[in-house]
Amino acid sequence: MRATSDAVVVEFPLRGEWVAVRTPAHRVPSHGTDLLGQRYAFDFVRPDHRRGLHLHPGSAVRGSLFGERTRDYYGWGQPIHAAFDGVVVAAVDRVPERARVHPVGELARALTATVGFDPARGVDPVAGNHVILRGADACAVFAHLVPGTVSVATGQRVRAGEVIGRVGHTGNSTAPHLHFHLMDSPDPVRARGIPCAFEEYLAQRDGGWERVERGVPARYERIRSVP
């Protein structure tokens, strides 16, 4: 981790190919709110190689009508890596996961969780299973993890690249994905968001893969971790 004049630069927390469906490169606040320090937050989903954004093997029509099994999403269960050296200040692994993804129901649940957020209930209904990691220049939130996969504990020191959990569908989630953002406090209720850039990744541009350093992925841009 290192701070620049514009952003805190961290390692990309995923491996393989992903797409940012929400990113501060598209708009700020990226999620339409400053709630819980997520002004500059990212949502990463894992697609297949078909044209467009296909997140599971099933058809879009079938998924819209009947939903899809959570475990069938390509991103589900993928490892999440610490984006910098730091200390774990929160590690929550008690939120159950919904077995199926029903788009309409998930969207309604997400709107209810955000609009009706109650600090007294804590952040679990929104973040689901999550890890908060404190580093030298910022705190990071990794949200919506699979139950039983959080592999770190509060107070534990971790190194950049260590696996801390797996991508899931808990809390305020419309489909299996990683929600990631930086903030200036370990307490999301009081925190303000901090701009974030990633040390390096590959971006699909003009039919090839281009190396990007200290970049912010564009919305719907296919990106890969650097081998």
- Print pLDDT tens along the chain (227 aa): 665 568 999 999 999 999 999 999 999 999 999 999 999 999 999 999 988 899 999 876 665 666 799 999 999 999 999 999 999 999 999 999 999 998 766 766 665 555 556 777 789 999 999 999 999 999 999 999 999 999 999 999 999 999 999 999 999 999 999 999 999 999 999 999 999 999 999 999 998 999 999 999 999 999 999 98
Q: What are the distances in angstroms from CA 169 to CA 75, 173, 216, 219?
A: 10, 6, 24, 21
Q: How many Å apart are CA 41 and CA 222, to the nearest integer?
A: 17
Q: Which two tokens stand for residue 55?
A: 């997140």
Q: How many Å apart are CA 164 and CA 145, to the nearest integer?
A: 10
- What is the model's pTM? 0.93
What is the dotted CATH code of the domain comprising 2-224?
2.70.70.10
Q: Which two tokens stand for residue 31?
A: 């999620």
Paired residues of 193 in beta bridges: 183
Cβ distance 189 to 35 under 8 Å?
Answer: no
DSSP 3-state of 112: helix
Report the phi/psi class of residue 171: left, alpha or beta, with left for phi > 0 and alpha for psi in -120 to 50: left
Q: How many Å apart are CA 216 and CA 34, to the nearest integer?
A: 19
